[in-house]
Amino acid sequence: MMLGIKDVKVENEQKNDIASLKKNAKEVLEGKKEIVPVDALIDLDPWLTPYREPLQKRYDLFKQWYDKLISSEGSLDHFSKSYLEYGINVTDKGIHYREWAPNAKEAHFIGDFNNWDITSHKMNRDEYGTFDIFLPRNADGSLPIKHNTKVKIALTLEDGTILYRIPAWIRRVTQDLSVSPTYDAIFWYPKEKYHFKNQKPPKPESVRIYEAHVGISSWEGKVNTYKNFTRDVLPRIKDLGYNVIQLMAIMEHPYYASFGYQVTSFFCASSRYGPPEDLMELIDTAHGMGITVLLDVVHSHACNNVEDGINNFDGTDHQYFHAGGRGHHDLWNSRLFNYGNYETLRFLLSNLRFWLDEYQFDGFRFDGVTSMMYYHHGMGYGFSGNYDEYFGGNTDLEAVVYLMLANKMIHDLYPDAITIAEDVSGMPTLCRPVDEGGVGFDYRLAMAIPDMWIKILKEQKDDDWNIGDICWTLTNRRYKEKTIAYAESHDQALVGDKTLAFWLMDKEMYGFMSELTPRTPIIDRGLALHKMIRLLTHALGGEGYLNFIGNEFGHPEWLDFPREGNGNSFHYARRQFNLVDDDLLRYKFLNNFDRAMQNLESKYGWLHSPQAYISLKHEGDKVIVFERGDLLFIFNFHPTKSFTDYRVGTSWNTPHHIVLNSDRVEYGGHDCIDESVTHYPTDFPWNNRANFLQVYIPCRTCIVLSHDKLYNLEIRGKCHLFLFCPCCKSNKQWKSHWLIDCPQLNELLFKGSSESPVPKIVGLAEFLTSAIPIISSSFELLFDRYCKIPNLSKSVDVVLIRHNDNTGSSSIATKDESLPSSSINDESGESLVDTTLSILKMLLLVNDKILFLYNAFNRGNLTNDIVNSNNDNSNSNNSHSNNNYSNISNSIFSNVSNSVLITALCDSDDNRWLSFIKWLLVRREKTGILEDCKK
C-alpha cells in the first residue's frame, strides 16, 4: 500500500463496525436488546473488546459468590439481614447474643448485668466458631440487662489467654476521655423507640449534594449534636436548594481528628453527637423536607485498634482481614478487609443493610474505592487511563466483586437508593449496572476537578488560565457513567490546604469582607471567581454536584480538628455560619448566588440533561460558551476585558432572556448588565450553532440565558395525522399501526362516507384522552420567529408538525420552560438516539380546543411518569415502523379534565383527517391555517 493512501475496503469495514457498535449500544440503552453481561459493556465501549476475558472472569466470580450466597442463605435479602441474628438482639422472650470468633476456644458474655463475672454466662460454640447465648426475661417481664449499661465478651484462646473485646456487632459505644480514650460497649434498648414519621423522598433526577459533618456544624468551639444540626443546619440546606445530604463521620471512630475514616464499631452511630434516636430524627426531618440522606460509609479499611475495634478480635490478624502485609495499609496505618471471606461478606453487607433499615439512610458514598480495587491501593500510582491499568494483575477482583455484591443488594432491595464511589483511578464500568457486568455504582466523584482548581489558583496568573484545559477536565468523563462534580470538598479544606475562598482572598478576608470597608481588588476578584468557578463546575462538570458545608458562602481558612499539635483547639473545627448571617459582611453575596444556582438547576434540570455542547473556548478572550438543560451559559474569565455585542452561538432561534447573572448587586456584583434586555437571535450559523446572539459580558462575569418556546405556527409542507391506536391494545401492549386502518376507532370517530366524514362529537374527548402518543425523532415544529403567544389557550387551536427529510433534526415547542431538549445527528444525518428516550409532559387545552404539541427526544433518564412501550411492528404498515417509541403513563393526565390529546405525525394521505381538522377549525372560526396545510 502506498504511503498516505487509505485502504477503502478496510475503512468501510471499520465504518460498518462502528455503525454496528452504535446500533448495539442504542438497542441496549432503549431496552430492546437482551442484556448479556460483559457484551453489554462492550457494546457501549468497544475499547473494552480486548479485555473481554478479564471482564468475564470478574463477572463469573461475582456469579459464583452470588449463587453461593443464594444457595446457602436462601437469598441476598436474608444474608444481608444477619444483623438481626448476630450481635445483641432483643426478642419477646429475652436477649440473644451471637458472635463469630473462630480462633477462640471459649467465650463468656460479661458486663454490669453479672458484675463482670467471667464464668457465669458461658456461650455455646458451633463447628464454625460462632458463639451464642440466650438470656431469658426476668419473671416480671423485664430484660436481664438494663438499658445503657456496659457489656463485653471475654474470649479464651487455646493457650488460656483471655481477650476482652467489644462485641463486633455492637450498636452503641461511648467514650469518656477523662477516664480513657478506649470505648465502652453499651447495651442500648430505650423504653421509647423512635418512630419515623415521614416517607422517604423519591430518588432525585438531579443530585445536588450538601456534604456535612455534624460535629463541626456549629460556629461555636465545640462538638455539635444531631439535635442542633436538625434545628439549625437542615433549614439552611433546604433554603439553599440542595436535595441530598451526605453525612460524614457517622460510623463510630475513636479519634475525632480522623474525620470519621478510622472506624472501630461499624454498627454504631457516633455517640459524641448524641444518642441514636437523635440521628434518626435528623434523617426523618430531612425526609420531611424532601431531602435524601446518604451515609459516608467506610468499608475500605478499619481502625487498627484492638481493645475497642475488630482488629485481632479473636487473637488472629486474619479473622476479618487479610493476614500479613496484605492486611495492612501502610499509609493509613489501618487494617484491610479480606473480601473473599464468607463471614467478612456477611459483616459488611449486613452493615449496609443495617444503616438502610434501622436509620433509613437512602444510600451511600463509598470511601476509598480506589484503595479497595487495586493491590497497590493507589499509593504512589499515577493512572494514565490505559485500560491495562484496570484489567491487569494490579486489580483486586475479590474487592471489586464485593462492591458488585453490595450494589446488587442495595439496588435490588432499594431501587431508589443511591451509591457513589470515591475513585480517582477512572475504572471503566464502575458506574454501569451489575447485570451488565459493571460494578454497579450510580455515580463516581470527579476527583480531578477540585485538584485542577487548586492547582490553577496556586500556580497560575489569571492571564495564563488555559480555557481549553479547564473545559477538558470538566467534561472528561466516561460515557454513560454518571459523575458528581465539585469545586472543593472536605479534602481541599483540611489542614495543609485552604478553602477556595481563602486561596482567592487569603488574609484580606480578615479585614475587608465587611461592607463598611473598601472593596479591594483582591476581594472583588475573589467574589467574582468564587461564583464563576462553582457555576462552571456545576453546569459543565457532571451529572451531580457536591458542596462541602460552609463553602457555599466562601468559608475562610481551613479545617483542623482538636489534637495535641494545636493544643486541642476547636477554632478551625467549626463552620462559622455567623459570618453569613451578618448582613454587614460580604459572605451573604456568595450564599445568595449559591442559592440562586441550586434553584435554577432545580427548575431547568441541567444535571440530568445530556452533557453540554461547548460552542466556544476562546483562549484570548477567556470566554466559554455552552448549552445544557435548555440554557445558554456564557463565562468571561478575562481579568480586565469586557465585551459589548459579543457574538455567541445558540441552537434556539427564539428570544433569549437572562435568568442568572453573577454581576447582580445581591450577588456582590457591580450591576453592569441590563437584564430587561431581550436578546433576539439571528438566523445565521455561528460556532457550529444554527443561530447567534450578541451580548454584553463584563470581565469576570457569567450569565445564563433561557429561551422562549411558544410561538404562533407557520405551517409549511405536507402535514397529516397519525394516531397511536388506543382501541387495539391487548394485554396492556399497544399496537403501533395506522389509526386510519383501525375499524373500531373509525367507527367511533366518523360517520358517513370515507370521502365526506362527519366526526362524532359524543365521547370523543373522553376516548382520546386515554390515547398514548408516539414520538418520532424526525419531525420539526415550525413557527414564526419572535412572535410569542401571551396566552396560548386563547390563541391557538391546532398546532401541526411536518416531517423534515433533510436535516433529521427535531425542534421543540413547549410551554414548560424547565423542560430540557436536544437532538443529535450521526454522520449520516440520521437522528441518533444514543440514550434513553424521554417524552416530556404535554400541555392539553380545554374548551373544545385541540393542541398538537410535540416534544422531541432528550438524552436523559426517564422520569417516573414515563415507561417504555412495546414497539410491536408485526402489524405495522407505515414507514416509521423502526422508529423508537415511548409511552407516557396515564398518571400525567390524571389532573386534566375535558381535554383532548392527539399526536400529529406524518405521511398519511387520507383526506378524512384533513376534514377532521377542518371541522375542528371551523368550530373556532379559524380556517385560514387549513389552506396552508392543504398546500
Instruction: Label residue 265 exposed, middle or buried (CB < 10 Å: 0-12, 13-18, 19+).
Output: buried
Closest alpha carbon to 261 in 319, 323, 339, 335: 335
CB 54 within 8 Å of CB 38 = no
Mind giving me the DSSP string for 834-896? -S----PPPP---TT----------SSPPPTTEEE---B-TT--STTTTS--EEE-GGGGTT-
In sequence order, the β-bridge partners of residue 497 are 495
Q: H-helix or E-strand containing 579?
A: helix 577-581
Contacts of 246 (CB under 8 A, 6+ apart): 209, 210, 211, 212, 294, 295, 296, 365, 420, 546
Q: H-helix or E-strand containing 540?
A: helix 521-540
Closest alpha carbon to 830 in 22, 72, 171: 22
Q: How far apart are CA 643 and CA 625, in angstroms?
A: 14
Q: How far apart are CA 133 and CA 125, in angstroms?
A: 9
Measured N-to-C along each axis, helices 397-413 and 52-73 cross at an angle, to the nearest 10 degrees, of: 60
CB 284 within 8 Å of CB 198 = yes
How many residues appear in the chain? Answer: 935
Q: Please indicate whether residue 581 is annotated as part of the active site.
A: no
Q: How far apart are CA 109 and CA 132, in angstroms?
A: 9
In sequence order, the β-bridge partners of residue 211 are 246, 548
Q: How far apart are CA 914 and CA 755, in angstroms?
A: 11
Find the catalytic residue in 211, 284, 314, 422. 422
Cell of 806: 433533510
CB 697 within 8 Å of CB 636 = yes
Contacts of 741 (CB under 8 A, 6+ apart): 877
Q: How far apart are CA 243 and CA 839, in angstroms?
A: 24
Cell of 655: 428570544
Q: Please indicate whether residue 872 is annotated as part of the active site.
A: no
Q: Give the type of residue at 727.
A: C
CB 801 within 8 Å of CB 848 = no
What is the residue whose three cell numbers read 432503549? Answer: 30
Sign of CA dihedral 104, 96, 351, 310: negative
Q: How far apart are CA 672 and CA 669, in angstroms?
A: 8
Find the catalytic residue in 284, 367, 481, 663. 367
CB 703 within 8 Å of CB 679 = no
* Rg (alpha carbons) of the chain, rounded to whole number: 31
Query: What are phi and psi for residue 88, nearest 5 degrees?
Result: -100, 120
What is the residue whose three cell numbers read 408538525? Answer: 801
Mind giving me the DSSP string for 472-506? HHHH---TT--EEE-S--HHHHBBTB--HHHHHHT
Contacts of 514 (CB under 8 A, 6+ apart): 584, 585, 586
Cell of 241: 436548594
Cell of 2: 502506498
Cell of 239: 433554603
b/e map of 174-209 (b: 16 or more CB within 10 Å)?
Answer: bbeeeeeebbbbbbbbeeeebeeeeebbebbbbbbb
CB 537 within 8 Å of CB 552 = no
Closest alpha carbon to 702 in 661, 654, 737, 746: 661
Closest alpha carbon to 238 in 286, 202, 198, 283: 286
Catalytic residue numbers read: 367, 422
